[in-house]
Amino acid sequence: MCPMFRRVLVALSVILTSAFAAGAVSPGVASAAGFFSFTEAPKYAAIVEDASSGEVLYERNADGLRYPASISKLMTLYLTFEALSSGRLHPDDIIVVSPHAAGMAPSKLGLRAGQTISVNEAMQAIAVHSANDMAVAMAEKIAGSEARFATMMTLKAHELGMSNTHYDNASGLPDARQISTARDIAILCRAILRDYPQYYRLFSEKSFTYNGHYMENHNHMLGRTPGVDGFKTGYIGASGFNLAASAVRGNRRLIVVVLGGSSTAARDAHVADLFDAGFQVLGRRALGQTTTIAQNLHEPAPIGDVVRPPTEEGSGDQGGVHIVLAAPQPVQHMITPERPEHPYAALADRGRPPVREMSRREERREEAREAREERGRHGRHQRARADESFSVQVGAYHRRGQARDALATLSHRYSAKLSDADRAVDPAHRGYYRARFSGLSQVEARKACRAMHAHHQTCEIVAPEG
């Protein structure tokens, strides 16, 4: 027997032995290895809910801010269902496609500007084919502009209790301000089932044909996983592979949301595992047993919760995280929470050790000194002392406008601490823009950063030059 052939036989033997051994392992243990590897992904978040009661049977990073991608279209359709139910819109109404809608990136139906489509057909294209052009066209039909519709989406989200969700477009195409959580998406899924069950069938359709073009639903779990009958997929490079799904077995319905999958297959397999475990828990409860999904999946220890901004193109995943670029000044004190409040909030530069934090006695002495000096000032901009020129850096952004928007949002949110601070957007390395609140004393900077830290907003205190 030749050496090459012998090596092939040995390799086959190992593979067959491993496969046999895997088959001998109990299902719970077999799924644990896959579960562990899947949940190591930093974008991962998941939740399992009872659709009737809203009881959360399982959650992991469920409140971590994530990019919903095309799952955003669930809210676009919720508002469409609302308009249909109120009579403001009818299924046979005609939508004229605008140049803005026609210019959307795929997935899309591909209609040119000026062409028309019915509301009913547009809904199918959105639900089944995830057509970005139709989502925008529907938004413009209902609200007059996509921007106005995005505001309606956000307001409706907050009205439904989706407190950590913000929409900036109707499609879910890459936008650093378009954020949500697994918990919020589950809330929206329950709202659709509760408020507009007559339209839920749209999410169950496996295909859609328009002008002779056949398009399959992106949710490949339909008809393949027992009981799965609807909801929506989503993907952009910064989000990973997302899926909100619902399944009914017997007289019970579950909602599963998984965000940040490494591939379609890995995501779908994990969602199937969560459904199996969830229905198993409900079945055991009916027999008087006490168990949880986490116990059945042998849940690993919690992982980090990091989100990176999407690229403008939304293609590919560059890896890594969005980091505050090193400032030319030395860092005086740095506060780094476990999770940023905003997806493009900065992670502090951890390459340099922070300077010793002041004791409470020193802080009170500093506050007293500040109060004495404040009484002698005639205006904030007359300050000249170097130790009153501290800055609080809150992020580094791809575009100047993003930095300005972040400063405006945080200035409003922390107005008690930052009302007198100057806002500064400074160019940094590699085309980034630093967002800073400047003109603060050390004590003011520390107080502002402490307030942000309490709400999981990362910040970095930068000492004055010299």
Catalytic residue among 31, 43, 70, 417: 70
Q: Single out the catalytic residue among 31, 43, 73, 108.
A: 73
Is 130 a residue of the active site?
Answer: yes
Active site residue 141: no
Residues in Cβ contact with 245 at an 8 Å cutoff, skipping those fewer than 6 apart? 219, 221, 228, 230, 231, 255, 256, 257, 271, 275
Kindly provide the b/e burial profile for residues 200-239, where b requires at least 16 CB atoms within 10 angstroms of the residue's own CB: bebbbbeebebeeeebebbbbbbeebebbbbbbbbbbbbb
Contact 127, 139 (CB under 8 A): no
- 232 labelled catalytic: no
Select which of 130, 171, 389, 391 is catalytic. Answer: 130
**What residues have CB less than 8 Å from 135, skipping those under 6 apart?**
73, 76, 104, 126, 170, 171, 172
Residues belonging to the active site: 70, 73, 130
